Amino acid sequence: MKKIQFGTSDIQAAAVILGCMRLINAENPAKIIETAVENGINFFDHADIYGGGECETIFGQALKETGINREELFIQTKCGIRKGFFDFSKEHIVASVEGSLQRLGLDYVDALLLHRPDTLVEPEEVAAAFDQLETQGKVKYFGVSNQKPMQIELLKKTVKQPLMANQLQFGLKHTGMIDQGIHVNMTDEASAERDGSVLDYSRLNQMTIQAWSPYQYGFFEGVFIGNEKFPELNAALDKFAEKYNCTQTGLASAWILRHPANMQVIAGTMNKTRIKEIAAAADIVLSREDWYEIYRAAGNILP
């Protein structure tokens, strides 16, 4: 399994993360965890809202069944989304972590991310929460999710802990953060600045981008792999999957991991075969020419 540096830490993390949002639908959660670990995926991503908290409970119970040493795993969770609003208050952040730890059956999580931007955020509240959780040994590392550079800079004004990661939707049908960099000095749709150059910012500040829903198109509209709506892209995936001796899903993952930003891919599948396919493809390095051909097949135009 390819390893990447997690933010500015000294942690060498698995390039593939198993996202646990769908764990509530898994037939045998313990086997899912075991399959992931056996294939080099020891990084697990949670959130307090997944399954209304039930996904964390299921994971905690399943982990005990596996007998896997907790210290061999990197377990991450997120907080900040509440019913009808977002909440980055100290009270909610601390309470959320306490709840996650109880459900997971753990003394600490390796990382905590703020899930979606709270426009009412008071950085001092976030800083106080992070300080308390770090001092108590309940969270080792911190980060954000779905935030752009200036929102991160606002937090950094007060938060003393390095922000290690940023979860952003990215994949062959969500290429906005790449498109705008390619279409600099253009006036077409792809040139529109929507995220504050978050890709370049992340590289400059050594923040690990964790690509969520990498196989989806639209906003959870569906999977593009094998979808008749995208014949050119799937033809390219077929072509290069054969060349690199992997599956289409594996290739779509390898396409993300080929980027020198050293991203992680969040695989949300609860299918053991697909977990193996994605894990195996993590070590594939696409050529520059092939990477761009697949990018164009996804409907992107080079200026």
* pLDDT tens-digit series, residues 186-196: 888 888 888 88
* The pairing of beta strand 139-145 with beta strand 109-114: parallel
* The pairing of beta strand 3-5 with beta strand 12-14: antiparallel
Dist CA 47 CA 300 (whole Å): 32
Domain-embedded: residue 302: no
Are 159 and 133 contacting, i.e. CB atoms less than 8 angstroms apart? no
Q: Report the half-sphere exposure of 136 (CA within 13 A, side-chain side).
A: 15
Question: What pLDDT is attached to residue 147?
Answer: 97
Q: List the single range of 74-88, 146-160, 207-221 with lowest mean pLDDT.
A: 207-221
CATH number (domain holding residue 23):
3.20.20.100
Question: What pLDDT is attached to residue 101?
Answer: 98
- Closest Cα to residue 55, out of 29, 23, 18, 99? 23
| Residue 85 burial (10 A CB sphere; 0-12, 13-18, 19+) | exposed
The pLDDT tens digits of the residues spanning 209-227 come to 999 999 999 887 899 999 9
Domain-embedded: residue 196: yes
- Which tokens go with 278? 């994605």
> According to DSSP H, which parts of the chain are helical?
29-38, 54-66, 90-104, 123-135, 149-156, 176-182, 198-204, 231-243, 248-257, 272-281, 288-297
Dist CA 237 CA 247 (whole Å): 8
Residue 6 scores a pLDDT above 90: yes
Dist CA 3 CA 57 (whole Å): 28
pTM above 0.75, yes or no: yes
- Three-state SS at 195: coil
Mean pLDDT for 96-122 is 97
Mean pLDDT for 129-139 is 98
Dist CA 153 CA 159 (whole Å): 10
Question: What pLDDT is attached to residue 186?
Answer: 83
Q: Where does the pLDDT of residue 8 fall: very low under 50, low under 70, confident under 90, or very high at 90 and above?
A: very high
Residue 1 scores a pLDDT above 90: no
- Which tokens go with 120? 């009412």
- Residue 118's CB is within 10 A of a number of other CB atoms, namely 20
- The owner of tokens 């020198």 is 260
The pLDDT tens digits of the residues spanning 241-284 come to 999 999 999 999 999 999 999 999 999 999 999 999 999 999 99
Question: What pLDDT is attached to residue 184?
Answer: 87
Mean pLDDT for 165-192 is 91
pLDDT mean across residues, the chain:
95
Q: Which residues are catalytic?
A: 50
Tell me the residue range of the domain where 56 lies.
3-297
Mean pLDDT for 62-80 is 96
Please count the structural domains in the chain.
1
Question: What pLDDT is attached to residue 132?
Answer: 98
- The owner of tokens 């300080």 is 131
Domain-embedded: residue 183: yes
Residue 125 scores a pLDDT above 90: yes
Domain-embedded: residue 303: no
